[in-house]
Structure 1
Amino acid sequence: MPVPSTSTTSEPLRFTLLGPVRVWRGERELTLGPPQRKAVLATLLLRADQVVTASELVDAVWGDSAPASVHGVVQTHVSMLRSVLEPERPRRGQASVLMSVGNGYSLAVGSATVDLREFEKTLERARQLREEGNARDSVDWYARALAMWQGEPLSAIPGPGAVIERARLNEIVLGVQEERLELMVALGRHTAAVTELSALTGAHPVRERLRALHMKALSRSGRRADALAVYTDTRRVMVDELGIEPGSELRDLHRRLLAVDEPPVQQQPAAPPPVQPSRRPVVPFMDEPLPALIAPAQLPADVADFTGRTALVKKLTAMLTPRTHRTAPPRALVAGIGGVGKTALAVHAAHQVRQDYPDGQLYVDLRGAGPDAADPLNVLSAFLRAFGVSPNSTPADLDERAAMYRSVLATRRVLVVLDDAADAAQIQHLLPGSATCGVLVTSRRRLPEMQWDEQAELEGMSRDEALTLFSRTIGAERAGKEPDAVAEVVDACGRLPLALRITAAKLVDRPQWTVRSMADKLARERGRLSELRVGSLEVEATFHLGYGQLDATSARAFRLMSLADGPGLSLPAAAAVVGEPEREAEPVAERLVDLNMVASPAPDHYAYHDLLRLFARQRAAQTDSKQDRIDAMVRLGDHYLGTAATAGWLIQAPAQPREKFSVKPGGVKLPDLKSAFAWFEDEQPALLASARQFLTDPDLPSEYVVDLITFLELYLANGTHFGEIGQIGELAVRDAERTGDLRVEAWGRRKVGEAHLRRFQLPEAENQLTRSIAAAEKAGDPGALATAMDLLGSAEFRMGRVEQSLAHLERALAIAHDAGDLVREAYVLGTIGRTQSERGEFELAMGACEQSRGLHEQLGNETGLARTLFMMGLVYQRFRRLVESIDPLEESLAVCLGIEQTFGEGHNLVMLSRGYLADGRAEQAAAAASRAKELGEAIGDAHMHAMAVAELGKALHALGKHEAGDEHLHSAQALLTQLNSPQAAAVTALLNRK
């Protein structure tokens, strides 16, 4: 939720569009909320001081995908923006910044600063100086203008309006860069110009103006051959990709370069040609071409000193080189033991052919050798995001998500590198189907069940290759003095690249050591990693050697950091594990990276090679006491829980008061909602892995998971993760059965029951929730008891047991009231309202809902408010007042869209379809039901999907499409019957009347 500023409105506002859309009041950044709200603000800013109609806003932000109640959504976003921009304005007072004008809105900028306007003013001055012949000052003003750009304009803003405006702004800034570079070349600043032009021409290879400038700058720098090479490359690209020759300017310049050298550099430039400043107004939705998608380039950096494997690299690159006759994508597998260099080889080969895959290179570490292998569903989601596919458009079903992935890649030339695959099942959905793509897989297994165009079983390097790699790393001169010792070290390392690099790093770090001393140490330290047998024990000795070079602080960090499950640790998490401030933990962690003991896949993130993790854990078991190891994990848990609590409270108040959580001081300090979402996005895999570890390790306190997942669910509250949380609930139940912890049992069974309830598996839900209530009663936990009873009441309601449902709900309400739990009280009141309606008590039902609404508004709980408004819509519909249900349902939908809650959005659309149909708006009803059907499929909500199919069938009949309507109704009947839903009878009755 936006946080009102504590500053006074007299402080000036500052808006940015040339990068992320952001707003400051004075020095304090304001929280704007979800992307669609930012899109509304951006559209108004682009036409500041003008009236933008509501329809224009809808077209800009949603286009053809606007929900049926979109105008209510717009009103909600405008209302929330007003509360941020004018925090001291009375609730119903006259707005002075974001004003309603007729059927639209106007954003009065006044004395506020807008970076786009400042850019245009600065650019106008630069062009004026250029026209006056003052090139030097003009270049400076151009630089000032370009410095205002902070990356992609309107970054992460959704909607067709933003797409078009981004294209226009990107074209503007590219033109401005060209104007500035022309002046720089004219002024003789060739070296600086060449540097910038190299990058720009790489990003825009067929832009002839840039290419011509590049050629001129190179020629005038004395690099005539390089200038001619630019022309050759330009012509190749244009002929291959566009089928045309370069234009006359480039051809003429090329001829002049071939004939004679460019004239000497002018010390004082001739007056540049006048450039007319752009008079085009800043108006969105201009009819301009859309930008090409930026091709993802996810390959890790190539190994600078890659050695050997020449024949294999040649085979892989030849196989991956595109050929016109292919009907399927080429596939290559590199298999072998851990540490043998599979990843380095794959990345090196991929870099050799990346130019043949201009539409992108995808890379993922599948972590197949460890206990936390990557889920193909999540990998597909990341790959689709890399091509701009919104998470909200991504199907929940694995087969459907894989089909979308293959469709996205169908016409593209993309290289896919799947590193460390566990088995064929993990990668089968990650393989593209188009012959224009290429696939390179590494695995410890041979994967014989799959077909490969090239398959290599990678072994240790040849002796010569290993000697070359080791000697190159420690220095040829040093190696040449002790050739016999070098050979012994290479053999002791098993010729494995990972072992060789660790050993060489120790020698580089200890220049006073002889290679002979290293060889002797390796010979003495074998035999300590027996469970990782690979035919010899040399790898173990190498790891001991690398470990031995660590000082006490680094060695302790190496051991303790390895104890955490999951893909890796961020710097704050690593600092928590070792019990040191970040400023002290960072150099220690970076030293481990420098010595190849841990990897750093991203800045301030650390991960272990699986062999080294096992080695480090073994050393921890031998070196650190059991209590020290437990304390390290508890510190990590406190860090995760403390930060999750901070982030969770920024996103939405949970359904328990703050004092109910056992959160210790600490964790990352997050300043705003944006940083809260970013932290959860970054740490979500680690948090889930931590929850599983605390529930499966009998030495760790499992009760920590209860609070952690409560906060994590606030981030995951879009209805797409209840299955995964349910699985963690099952682990909690098993842990509670072992420990007898009733609070953990109550929580775990509640989570399992809730997952069953979401899937409409009602008997299973009833069983788990009943047992959760029993555990909560024994534990004396009123909050857990009230929550479980509320859910059980919902399950019984769905099973048609209205009286039993109401009895549990009224008891839940009394418990919450006695405990002073206003949040839970508000939720239960809404459920009671829905349930009372089934008894024919309209006034009682609506009264309970109104009480619930008032409490949620008082608490600022948008999630709860959306739920209660939905319940009010249900009450109206239960009494056949379908048209009256539209207002609360549209209001609920607007809130759900504002907080990006897909689950609530879908259920509102199902009910709105009924209301629209009763109001004679059959097309709107069909659109709402169709969208709800899509959402039900996407998030795996079978009941939502089935109900949406039923409503779509009714709407199609109303539109005269009776055959399609019957088809949908029969489908809904089958789905609802399969779910044992009471709604099946209503659909059956409807079909019998036809």
Structure 2
Amino acid sequence: MEQLAEASGVSVRAISDMERGHSRAPQPRTLAALASALGLTGEEHDLLAGSARAQRMRTVRPRLCEPPRAVDDFIGRDVEIGRITRRADKVIVVHGQPGVGKTALAVHVAARLTDGYEQRLYLDLRGVDPEPLEPGEAARQLLRALDVGPRRIADDPDERCSQIRAELGDRRCLLILDNAADEAQLRPLLPGPGGSTVLITSRRMLGGLEGVLRIGLDPFTPDESAGLLRAIAGQAEDPAAAGQVDEVARLCGHLPLALRIAGTRLATRTTWTVGNLLDRLADADRRLAVLSTGDTGVAAAFALSHAQLSGEGRALFRRLTHVPGLDFAAGLVAVLTGADPHDAGDRLDELVELGLLQAEGADRYRFHDLIRLFAAERLRVEEPAGARAATRQRMIRWLLGTAITAGRSFGAGDDVTDADEAAAWLQAESGNWLGAMRDCGDDQLIVDVAEALHWFADTMVAWPGWYEVYRLSRDAAARLPDPRQRIVQLNHFAWAAARCAHRYDEGAAAARTAYRLAVDLGDLGEQSWALQYEGDARLLAGDHERALAAYRQAEPLAETAGDHDSYLQLNLGIGMALGELGRHEEALERLRRTPYEIENRPVNPRSALAARMTGGIHTARALIGLGRYREALEEGEAAMAFALEFGEPGKIGQVHLVAGLAHAGLGAVDPARADLGHAVALLHHGPMRQMAVERLAAL
């Protein structure tokens, strides 16, 4: 038997079981391996095969633990399949959120991994049922499937688990343990080193299992999603419907289960177009209902994991739908639930472990779109309207209060560490505090947030959200009784429209309105700011003469009002406008006044840093215009230090631009290419980016 086992690849135990009658109907591939090893040909081979066929005919019981049918239209997962097939002698855990296609992948791979396995087995461990399958019962079912006679199966559950480990260790089997509950359910069943492969699927990561290969599944890519829909439903193959197919995939969250249900609904309704399906999915309140068919549904899959949550976990799960942004950090948990902040990580880990929440990096989390809809349904069902409103207002006020504190600490400019921490929070939570502004309903609070973020906004100019922030504050201020607040927020809006949204005419018009209101109020300081923002909009639009006129009109107003920050910015504006008009000597004279003005005026530290940076950039540009390239490089080096401290990528890109232009003027082509390449990467809009693109192309 040992020689036959070595020659055939069939284990000694399997041969012994067949010889003694414990395994009476061997697999065809096992029989073929034995026949080949024995050298059977002709009549002898036919006699053995006929005997096996007859024995299988006499075996009336159905085959136990037979794997489910693999789908014919399986799509994607090439990377994951490659990792599994390369490690086919290991224990492999495939984990992910409900509906992501874990079982489909395991069954598909099992159908492909046929060579050398005596038997393929499948067992649903019912891990999300109220009572998952006990390890001892799982072992009993697997032993019966391996044709171990009933008399040989131990009565004691622990002994049965030992038996299945031994059987799997001695044989070469492919075992799928689907829908595992936890590590305690699995450990008694897993064999040691040997020829068997165990594929485990679970909604949990099963981090307590050692020595296993873990493969986490994400939703499909857009191309994979569209491919699955086309494979299922003929209507989706129409090239004219490609855009609608992509939108259906997006509304399904690229979740394989949702895509399969949507495709099946379309395929079974031959009079429907993709547009008909899209119309039904577009209603967020009905989307989960549409994504169900027969005994399968996306919401039902989510509900199985939801049922396993603790009471605290369920409360957090449903209340997280109040979060307005796409992702969030743990700080919001205590606000939403009233729990101890130190418990936040445990509650979030519970949701992640069950596949109901996705971890994004080290400390951020997000919902899958469809799970978010399911959580919102649970919120409506499980909490009264008054409680929902109170929780939402508590979260909104916490987000906006924190944004005000962060903005003010950043604007003060006294503590660099505080400013860096404040900036990091404001950037990470921008989608949440902006969403809170939209839903706030308190005009004065909206204005307070916008005002507190004024200095921070200069460090993140490329963010398009500023246009909405200051549109909200403009509208809120117009409803308040204080006319000065209206003027200030109109000016902020003019800046955001021109600088951030590149709506130059709209920015200039808002600034002119603010100027007229400031004149009526007699506020010289806001008049100067309004004219400055008009000049900025004109400068960006390429109307350099009108920009220069606006700056010159504003300068004496700022001086008279004693608004030193405005005066400093206007001096820079005049220098920039003169440079754009080709009046480089005059521009240089203006721009080189910047350090003197900073030293002799009590300006905000952030304003001073911005002025040193901007002044250096445009001084270098003026020197380039005069052909003084080495001096321009020196100015650019000094400006880079200020730009790096300031931290706004666009300004760093402008420094690279002037360095590239100066290098090009000196004939240093390689350094010029490098700097201009950085400028193109960092500048996303406007004439300076166009200049970088054109000069790089010329080189």
Among 441, 448, 457, the alignment partner of 2:260 is 457
Write the letter of the residue equivalent to 1:725: W
Q: For the residues of structure 2 that align with 1:420 and 1:556, how far apart are their CA atoms? A: 31
Corresponding residue number in structure 2 for 1:828: 570
Q: For 2:683, give the aligned amino acid.
A: I
Deviation by residue 1:668-701 (Cα, 9 ceiling, x = unmatched): x996787667x44xx7453224314412554674
In 2, Cα distance between equivalents of 1:670 and 1:576: 28
Matched, 1:637 2:382: no
For 2:611, which of 864, 868, 874 is the aligned residue?
864
Seen in structure 2, the aligned counterparts of structure 1 residues 730 and 927 have a Cα distance that, compared at 3 Å, is farther
Aligned alpha-carbon RMSD (Å): 5.8
1:65-104 deviation line (CA, Å, top 9, x unaligned) = xxxxxxxxxxxxxxxxxxxxxxxxxxxxxxxxxxxxxxxx
Which of 1 and 2 has greater Rg? 2
Could you say if the C-alpha distance between residues 422 and 851 of structure 1 is closer, same or farther in structure 2, counting changes exceeding 3 Å?
Answer: farther
1:810 and 2:613 matched: no
- 8 A Cα contact 1:833 1:849, kept in partner: no
Residue 695 (structure 1) aligned with residue 442 (structure 2) = no
CA distance in 1 between partners of 2:297 and 2:256 (Å) = 31
2:301 counterpart of 1:497: yes
- In structure 2, the CA distance between the partners of 1:555 and 1:902, relative to structure 1 (3 Å rule), is closer
Q: Distance in 2 between matches of 1:601 and 1:766?
A: 40
Counterpart in the other structure of 1:445: 248
Residue 785 of structure 1 deviates from its aligned partner by: 5.9
- For the residue of structure 1 that corresponds to 2:511, the secondary structure is helix
Q: Is the 8 A contact 2:74 2:108 kept in 1?
A: no
Partner residue in 2 for 1:989: none
Unaligned 5+ segments in structure 1 are 1-224, 226-306, 325-338, 357-413, 429-441, 461-489, 510-549, 660-668, 957-994
| Conserved 8 A contact 1:600-1:606 | yes
Does the Cα contact within 8 Å between 1:833 and 1:846 map onto a contact in 2? Answer: yes
Give the aligned partner of residue 497 of structure 2: 752
Deviates more, 1:928-937 or 1:631-640: 928-937
Aligned partners of 1:322, 1:423: CA distance in 2, in Å?
14
Partner of 2:19: none
Alignment check: 8 A CA contact 2:630 2:662 kept? yes
Report the alpha carbon displacement of residue 342 of structure 1 after superposing the two structures with TM.
2.1
Q: Return the offset for 1:755.
A: 2.5
Is 1:343–2:100 an aligned residue pair?
A: yes
CA distance in 2, matches of 1:845, 1:581: 57
CA contact (8 A) 1:842 1:875 kept: yes
Asked whether 1:562 is paired with 2:321, we answer yes
Q: What TM-score do the two structures reach when normalised by structure 2?
A: 0.50
Aligned-partner Cα distance in 2 for 1:314–1:704 = 59
Q: Which residue number corresponds to residue 574 of structure 1?
A: 333
The 1:708–1:585 alpha-carbon spacing in structure 2 relative to 1, beyond 3 Å, is farther
Deviations 1:218-249 (A, max 9, x none): xxxxxxx9xxxxxxxxxxxxxxxxxxxxxxxx
Q: Who is 1:389 aligned against?
A: none
User: Is 1:845 aligned to 2:590, yes or no?
Assistant: yes
Match of residue 544, structure 2, among 777, 800, 810: 800
SS at match of 1:851: helix
Equivalenced residues, count? 458
1:128-207 aligned at under 5 Å gives the runs none
CA deviations over 1:918-944 (Å, ceiling 9, x no partner)? 6xx2234x7436743662365322412
Does 1 or 2 have the higher relative contact order (CA < 8 Å, sep 6+)?
A: 1
* Map 1:411-450 → 2, pairs under 5 A: 417-419=218-220, 445=248
**8 Å contact 1:692–1:728 — kept in the other structure?**
no
Contact persistence 2:99–2:256 (CA under 8 A): no
Tell me the amino acid that sits aligned with residue 638 of structure 2. Answer: E
Deviation by residue 1:235-282 (Cα, 9 ceiling, x = unmatched) = xxxxxxxxxxxxxxxxxxxxxxxxxxxxxxxxxxxxxxxxxxxxxxxx
Work out whether residues 613 and 643 of structure 2, in 8 Å CA contact, stay in contact via their aligned partners in 1: yes
Equivalent in 688, 692, 698 of residue 948 of structure 1:
692
Q: 1:420 to 1:645 in 2, by over 3 A?
A: farther
SS in 2 for 1:316: coil
Q: Distance in 2 between matches of 1:916 and 1:733?
A: 44
AA partner of residue 907 (structure 1): Q
Q: What is the match of residue 763 of structure 1?
A: 505
Query: Aligned pair in 2 of structure 1 residues 593, 905: CA closer, same or farther (>3 Å)?
Result: closer
Question: Which digits, 9 at most, give the CA deviation of each residue in 1:600-631, with x for residues without a partner?
Answer: 66666554521343225535552427455323
User: 1:728-747 CA deviation, whole Å, 9 max, x = no partner?
Assistant: 44555566667787254442
Does the aligned pair in 2 maintain the 1:733–1:749 contact within 8 Å? no
- Measure how far apart 1:565 and its partner are: 0.8
Q: Distance in 1 between matches of 2:594 and 2:71?
A: 68
CA contact (8 A) 1:790 1:812 kept: no
Q: Does 1:887 align with 2:644?
A: no
SS at match of 1:889: helix
Partner Cα separation in structure 1 for residue 433 and residue 457 of structure 2: 15
- Deviation string, structure 1 residues 806-841 (Cα, Å, up to 9, x no partner): 3344056337x625xx55543333334445676764
AA matched with 1:502: H
The reply to whether residue 614 of structure 1 matches residue 376 of structure 2 is yes
Q: Is the 8 A contact 1:796 1:804 kept in 2?
A: no
Residues 479-628 of structure 1 aligned to structure 2 (within 5 Å):
496-503=300-307, 505=308, 550=311, 560-578=319-337, 582-583=341-342, 605-608=364-367, 609-618=371-380, 619-620=382-383, 622-624=385-387, 626=389
Distance in 2 (alpha carbons) for counterparts of 1:454 and 1:497: 9
- Whether 1:311 and 2:73 are equivalent positions in the alignment is no
Instruction: Say whether the 8 Å CA contact 2:633–2:659 is kept in structure 1.
Output: yes
Matches within 5 A, 1:240-389: 310-312=68-70, 316=74, 320=78, 341-343=98-100, 345=102
Q: Structure 2 CA distance, aligned partners of 1:494 and 1:912?
A: 56
Work out the CA distance in 2 between the residues paired with 1:458 and 1:452.
10
Displacement after TM superposition at 1:578 (Å): 4.5
Match of 1:725 among 443, 466, 470: 466
Alpha-carbon distance in structure 1 between the residues aligned to 2:228 and 2:562: 53
Cα contact 1:866–1:893 (8 A) shared by 2: yes
Distance of 2:76 and 2:694 partners within structure 1: 54
Percent identity between the aligned chains?
13
Supply the AA of the counterpart residue of 2:466.
Answer: I
Say whether the 8 Å CA contact 2:552–2:574 is kept in structure 1.
Answer: no
For the structure 1 residues 565 and 715, does the alpha-carbon distance in structure 2 shift closer, same or farther, using more than 3 Å as the test? same
Shift of the 888–313 alpha-carbon distance from structure 1 to 2, 3 Å rule, reads same
CA shift, 1:634, in A, is 0.5
Give secondary structure in 1 for the equivalent of 2:69.
Answer: helix
Evaluate the alpha carbon distance shift between residue 889 and residue 689 of structure 1 in structure 2; reply closer, same or farther with a 3 A threshold: same
Q: Residue type matched to 1:813 in 2?
A: A
Aligned-pair distance for 1:644? 5.5
CA contact (8 A) 2:532 2:554 kept: yes
Give ranges in structure 2 of 5+ residues lacking alignment: 1-5, 7-64, 83-95, 114-214, 230-244, 264-293
Give the drift of 1:772. Answer: 4.9
| Contact 2:358-2:365 within 8 A present in 1 as well | yes
Per the alignment, residue 791 of structure 1 pairs with 533
Give the secondary-structure state (helix, strand or coil) at the position aligned to 2:668.
helix
Higher helix fraction (1 or 2): 2
**Alpha-carbon separation, structure 2, partners of 1:418 and 1:780:** 59
| Alpha-carbon distance in 2 for matches of 1:936, 1:597 | 41
Q: Deviations over 1:126-152 (max 9, x none)?
A: xxxxxxxxxxxxxxxxxxxxxxxxxxx
Q: Would the alpha carbon gap of residues 426 and 783 (structure 1) be closer, same or farther in structure 2, given more than 3 Å must change?
A: farther
1:842-893 per-residue CA deviation (whole Å, 9 max, x = no partner) reads 7852553232454799947544321111233344456665654443233223
What does the per-residue CA deviation read over 1:774-833, in whole Å, with 9 as the maximum and x for residues that have no partner? 567789988776555333223445413265133344056337x625xx555433333344
Instruction: Map Cα deviations across residues 715-773 of structure 1 (whole Å, 9 max, x no partner).
Output: 535xxx243433544555566667787254442332112225xx5x6434422433455
Give the conservation status (yes or no) of the 8 Å contact 1:902–1:935. no
